[in-house]
Amino acid sequence: MEGNLIENNTIVVARFKEDLEWLNKLIESELWIERVVIFNKGPENISFSKKALKKIDIIRKENIGREGGTYLDYIIENYEVLPDKIWFIQGDPFDHSPDFVNLMKYDVVRYYVDKEFQTLTWRYNDVIPPNIDSDHRFYIQNNRIIQYYIDSNTQQTVETHEFHDFAHDEKVNALKYKTPIPYGNYLHYMCGSNGFPQPSNIIPYCWSAIFYVRGNSIRRNSKKSYEKLLKMLLSTNDQGGNEGFVLERLWQYILTHETYSDLVSLKRSLGWKYHDLCAFWNSSLMYVAIYDKSYQKHPSRRKSEERYDSTMIYYDEEEQNFEIMKTVYYESTPISMFPSLNIESAKNVLKFQIDFHSKKLDIMRGVENLVSNNLIPTLFWTFQNKRKVRISENVNVHKYEKEENDNVKSYDDKIELALDKRGAEIMTSKK
């Protein structure tokens, strides 16, 4: 039976004014779908066939909190009885996920239904983010999706699809005044203050918050954490304010706790086998240009231009050899340029740059170790070797309080002096 593989499932829909005829057709055609919960925050002009209505619950909700508030409402209200497999979607997912209907077909769902979490979006819109057509790494049965990653401090995208989102930058800056000093940024504050673990420097990001998740993944966090998060979401205004845009970037991290310390560990987890440096050789002008961020300049990630006199060179760190791609060209700013008469000399220049880069990193690490292991202990040994003692509140300081000290006038100062003396005696006795 088809349904056995995907049993105990629910689709949660955040709807405002969107036409849901596409959903009606999906429910009728995909027999594995067991239940659909529609949170309707707009007009009641919704119609479904009798066949589809047997699986649908329509819940009338006040129009507050956007989709983030809708998702949290469902999680909080059903926390103890969550189904095993849940899809969280918007009333019109197609701007963000043009292949969404295909991604909900049984023959495609079975490829990701065992995962803990699956992003189901490809983009924000048809121009943001740029240069995504050639990145097929995350496609499911040729259906377009991309797993994005962001810097948890700036909330800007990193890795292959790095670009600066100025509109979101304004939201991040606007939230700075609401961020307590220990957290540094609002995303970390949204995690820490609500009982979610603090992320490291990079987290996965599901653009536009349309995703599949397992019930147990939701329950890795307490119900109280979701309740506090909902309260924070609505703290500025009923629509979620800028907090809602931060929550959108946090969903995948909250539900998976997946995080990375740096780009190196992220690229390793994604199977990127090439060195960060790559080269472009121009056979007409006889020069080689060295680029960084090779993961942004490879045909498997981004579409290239075709030029007869251009060759891209990559160094495969696993196989320890060069990958040569002729007629491939990327417009980019080089970090260095050198004369090069042929492809062999271009490869030698790239290898030299890679070796130099590696040695430079080793030197930097050596200096760092020198400072942390030698200079810091030497300069600050008095602080590092300072012994501490805790004085019980019940310690007898009576005899010190009565001592005559011309430079100690107040009673509080005498108590402090007495405790200092008593502490010194205890430390001396424990040597």
pLDDT of residue 422: 55
The yes-or-no verdict on residue 365 having pLDDT over 70 is no
Determine which of 181-185, 194-198, 202-206 has the lowest per-residue pLDDT on average.
181-185
336, β-bridge pairs: 290
Mean predicted lDDT score pLDDT of the chain: 88
Q: pLDDT band at residue 382, thresholds of 50, 70 and 90?
A: very low
The yes-or-no verdict on residue 341 having pLDDT over 80 is yes
pLDDT of residue 383: 43
- Confirm if 278 and 312 have CB atoms less than 8 A apart: yes
Q: Per-domain residue ranges for the chain? A: 2-264, 273-357, 398-429
pLDDT of residue 10: 99
How large a percentage of the chain has pLDDT more than 90?
78
pLDDT of residue 385: 46
- Confirm if 177 and 212 have CB atoms less than 8 A apart: no
List Cα–Cα distances, 415 to 58, 388, 424, in angstroms: 69, 18, 14
Local structure of 310: helix, strand or coil: strand
**Residues 111-123: b if buried by 16+ CB within 10 A, e if exposed:** ebbeeebbbbbbb
The yes-or-no verdict on residue 426 having pLDDT over 60 is no
Here the tokens at position 373 are 């292991």
Q: pLDDT band at residue 338, thresholds of 50, 70 and 90?
A: very high
Q: What is the mean pLDDT of residues 144-164?
A: 96
Q: Which residue has the higher pLDDT, 182 or 29?
A: 29
pLDDT of residue 131: 87
List Cα–Cα distances, 91 to 10, 32, 82, 234, 412, in angstroms: 15, 20, 21, 21, 67
- Confirm if 31 and 2 have CB atoms less than 8 A apart: yes
d(CA 396, CA 404): 18
pLDDT of residue 207: 96
Q: What is the mean pLDDT of residues 65-77?
A: 96
Q: pLDDT band at residue 357, thresholds of 50, 70 and 90?
A: confident
- The single-letter code of the amino acid at 377 is P
Here the tokens at position 354 are 């890679």
